[in-house]
Amino acid sequence: MIGSWQQPSLYSSTTKTTSEMDRARVYLVTGGCGFIGEKIVELLCQEDYIKEVRAFDSVVREEVEKFTTATTHVTVMKGDIRDYNLLLAAMQGVHVVIHTAAILEYRNTVPFLEMRAVNVGGTENVLRACCALNIQYVVYTGSIAAVGPNTSCEPMFRGNEDTKYSGEVELPYGKTKAMAEKLVFEANGKKLSNGGKLRTCIIRPNTVYGEKATFLQELYLLAKARNGVLDYLEPENTERNYTYVGNVAWMHVLAAKNLQLKPDLLAGQVYYSYDDTPTSKSFLIRHELLSSMDPSVRLGSHIPYWKMWLMIQLHRIIKVILYPFWKPPPFIDLPLLNTIVTTFSYETDKASRHFGYKPLFTWKESKHRTAQWLKAAVGNLELPQPHEKKN
């Protein structure tokens, strides 16, 4: 038992002011030691109305506790969101839950049933525990993958939260996130035993970059193995949003605060994450992020769809023939390839209109912070030599 449960004080449906808020808020961040979750914990600790932040994660990183300040204490708690009883104990006395925990997997290395058990079953456990403990506020980290692209590879060009887009999503990960988002939407407005209502909203990021974005580290090592050349799969007219992790986290912090202050406005809403990172060709953004750290990284050429399609088929054949004697490394599959080459972008200011969101970090600052981390991350690694590119 973490502590004795206290009834949250914010359950009125009327709009409140900051001065009316209980300045002893207790937040729980599932996935609080993860890429986005850790940054959320860090920013929450800078808010004077929060007494404690609990980082609940299956992989514990004790350095997250160092975000503790004079007014806000961080508690790191090891646990799996599939374990309802453990989650229930961790949520005792909590006022607000920010639910980021999920298996984010694009290369078909995690069985779908396992991914669904975490992303959907875990979300169900979080909502169930909130109802059991009369916790009224949940901010959920969704994903643009829950919307599309669909299996017909229909593009969305600079849409917004109200853009109509239908069809079955392409990625298995997206399927689980769509199911979880549906649970969060359906839970909104559910009556609690203390007379209040469960209030939920969703933050829906696209591609998130920044410190500890391992995909950038992998891309850099891949480029260095090819004499510093960074090839790309997207056609040159493809668009996809990139958002800095610090700004994604800040949007969560503001949404959680204003969900309590203005529940009638935010509850049941979805917000796409955004900042001033250019909405342009994805490969140009990746190149700029890598070359800002290492100017020797050069933009290469476009790899045609047909060539990658043949490579995927060849990989599948080799995997079948050699299994179980040899297990090849993870490789891109067709759903991921189709997602990469399909434009899926948006333009919106909904978060600004609803809860005053403005990015904490400019594109210049975001790029610099990412480059500094990347330089440190690869500094102690043995870089692959150019002759290794055949692998």
Give the tens place of pLDDT for each residue, 140-151.
999 999 999 999
**Whether 171 contacts 336, CB under 8 Å:** yes
Residue 273: C-alpha distances to residues 47, 133, 279, 306, 377 (Å): 21, 30, 12, 33, 26
305 is catalytic: no
C-alpha–C-alpha distance, residues 160 and 352, integer Å: 13
Q: Which of 137, 140, 173, 272 is catalytic?
A: 173
Q: pLDDT band for position 152 (50/70/90)?
A: very high
C-alpha–C-alpha distance, residues 261 and 61, integer Å: 32
Instruction: State which amino acid sits at residue 312.
Output: I
pLDDT above 50 (res 69): yes
Check: CATH 3.20.20.70 for 18-213+241-278+345-361?
no
In this structure, the number of other CB atoms found within 10 A of the CB of residue 329 comes to 8
Segment 41-66 shows an average pLDDT of 95
- The pLDDT mean for the chain works out to 90
C-alpha–C-alpha distance, residues 381 and 8, integer Å: 48
Residue 110: C-alpha distances to residues 138, 164, 217, 266 (Å): 27, 31, 21, 34
Q: What is the pLDDT of residues 112-147, one digit of tens each?
A: 999 999 999 999 999 999 999 999 999 999 999 999
Domain ranges of the chain: 18-213+241-278+345-361
Per-residue model confidence (pLDDT) at position 279: 81
C-alpha–C-alpha distance, residues 313 and 103, integer Å: 26
- Tokens, residue 302: 């476009």
Q: pLDDT band for position 92 (50/70/90)?
A: very high
Q: What is the pTM of this model?
A: 0.90
Sorted by sequence, the CB contacts under 8 Å of residue 304 that are 6+ apart come out as none
φ and ψ of 227, to 5 deg: 60, 30
Segment 158-166 shows an average pLDDT of 95
What percent of the chain lies above the pLDDT cut of 70? 91
Segment 245-249 shows an average pLDDT of 98
Residues paired with 52 in a beta bridge = 26, 73
- Tokens, residue 253: 């912090």
- Tokens, residue 317: 């054949």
**Whether 98 contacts 39, CB under 8 Å:** no
- Tokens, residue 344: 């899926």
Determine the 3-state secondary structure of 313 from DSSP. helix
Q: What angle do CA 124, 333, 230 make, to 5 degrees?
A: 110
Spatial CA neighbour of 19 closest among 28, 7, 10, 30: 10
Give the helix/strand (H/E) hosting 98.
strand 96-99
Residue 264: C-alpha distances to residues 12, 194, 260 (Å): 10, 18, 9
